[in-house]
Amino acid sequence: MNIKGSLIIFLSCIYLYSFSGCSSRQITLSNIESQKVDSLIKVQKVNDRTIIVNFGYDAITAIKTEQGIVLVDAGISTALTARYKKTIENIFRQDDYAYVINTHGHHDHIGGNGVFSQAKVVGHENCRKEVSERWTNPEESMMSLCKIAEDYEQKLQQSILNTPEWEDIFTQKIRYMSAYIDVKNQIPVKLPDITFSDSMKLDLGDTTFEMIYFGKFHSNSDIVIYVPEIRIIFIGDLFSKYGRPGISDPSITDAVKCMGAISWIENRMNNIEKVIGGHGQILSTDELKNFTNNILNKYSGQ
């Protein structure tokens, strides 16, 4: 089934999706839920040509350039990202997508790559491997995703309707349910068309995107993206608020890469106004400095 077919199913709310192997219970997205999804898609205006589209922890950033729209990350699923795409086009009044840049290869950042079929996907060379690994055992992926969706459904039943807590749980349930549907319907994730090993620069006339590989940290494919013309740096899931590192593997072996990337960031620090995280959070330059200092302190004696 193609992306359009998946979206029709997701929006029409006709079909029931059975999480076979995890539960005999069937989960339906009702018309009310579908309307609620739309109401919870939020837009943050970063500047005159940059917006962040959020649905809970799902987030993509869109930047207008002379040569088309460039996106940073693509969300968790094709159905949700198709909605974000419509939001972007309504605001920008254009639909010419040039590139999608993946900050790393985790499924909640690359699931919607294929929605932007005319765009070239850019990522670190390890990103292709991380994306491909999702399809080595789709049954296992389905089991994991449906278990998460069911857990959120149980929490939802225990929450007060339409409170901030309820909405947070609801967005998580929908995110993982829609990712499950993609896997169930065998919708492949679009792999990066363009990859690099250490660093890369994209020149789109009035806007340049400078990228550097951070080394193994939160994932095997973490990159940092700096856009000097709009004074923004994208850090993916490398750290959260207050500079807390997003380390998945505590035994980091790529210290040299990390230190090189930190030096690269510090050389650009004076021209950075906004720091954008992988889930739509806008962080301060002080938090970025805390993060770089944490890494420097960790490896300064090595």
pLDDT tens, position by position, 74-104: 999 999 999 999 999 999 999 999 999 999 9
Rounded CA separation 86/92 (Å): 10
Task: Compute the average pLDDT of residues 35-58.
Answer: 96
What's the pLDDT at 255?
A: 83
pLDDT of 111 higher than 80: yes
> How many other C-beta atoms can be found within 10 angstroms of the C-beta atom of residue 45?
10
Chain centroid offset of residue 96 CA: 20
Asked whether the beta carbons of 123 and 102 are under 8 A apart, the reply is yes
Q: Hey, what long-range contacts does 33-40 have (CB within 8 A, 24 or more apart)?
A: 33/174, 36/170, 37/80, 37/83, 37/174, 38/83, 40/167, 40/170, 40/171
Classified as helix, coil or strand, 47 is: strand
Summarised one tens digit per residue, pLDDT across range 251-280 is: 556 788 899 999 999 999 999 999 999 999
Structure tokens given for 196: 């690099």
Lowest mean pLDDT among 26-40, 102-116, 246-260: 246-260
Q: Name the pLDDT band for 11 (thresholds 50, 70, 90).
A: very low
What's the pLDDT at 267?
A: 96
Asked whether the beta carbons of 111 and 179 are under 8 A apart, the reply is yes
Element (H, E) at 125: helix 125-133
Summarised one tens digit per residue, pLDDT across range 166-221 is: 999 999 999 999 999 999 999 989 999 999 999 999 999 999 999 999 988 889 99
Q: Parallel, antiparallel, or unpaired for β 26-27 and 17-18?
A: antiparallel
What's the pLDDT at 226?
A: 98
The set of residues, in sequence order, having a beta carbon less than 8 Å from that of 267 and lying 6+ positions away, is none
What's the pLDDT at 191?
A: 93
Better-scored residue on pLDDT, 182 or 132:
182
Q: Name the pLDDT band for 28 (thresholds 50, 70, 90).
A: low
Confidence (pTM): 0.89
Amino acid, res. 61: T
Asked whether the beta carbons of 17 and 176 are under 8 A apart, the reply is no
Rounded CA separation 193/212 (Å): 17
* CA 120 vs CA 68, 143, 223: distances in Å: 11, 31, 17
Give me the CATH code for the 40-133+189-299 domain, please. Answer: 3.60.15.10
Asked whether the beta carbons of 63 and 274 are under 8 A apart, the reply is no
Better-scored residue on pLDDT, 247 or 36:
36
What's the pLDDT at 34?
A: 83
Rounded CA separation 70/230 (Å): 13
Better-scored residue on pLDDT, 129 or 5:
129
The set of residues, in sequence order, having a beta carbon less than 8 Å from that of 248 and lying 6+ positions away, is 217, 218, 219
Residues of CATH 3.60.15.10 domain(s) within the chain? 40-133+189-299
Lowest mean pLDDT among 55-64, 141-150, 276-285: 141-150
Chain centroid offset of residue 254 CA: 23
Q: Name the pLDDT band for 7 (thresholds 50, 70, 90).
A: very low
From edge to edge, which strands make up the β-sheet containing 58-65?
41-47, 50-55, 58-65, 68-72, 97-101, 120-124, 194-196
% of the chain surpassing 70 pLDDT: 85
The set of residues, in sequence order, having a beta carbon less than 8 Å from that of 71 and lying 6+ positions away, is 60, 61, 62, 63, 97, 99, 100, 101, 116, 119
Rounded CA separation 103/248 (Å): 15
What's the pLDDT at 254?
A: 77
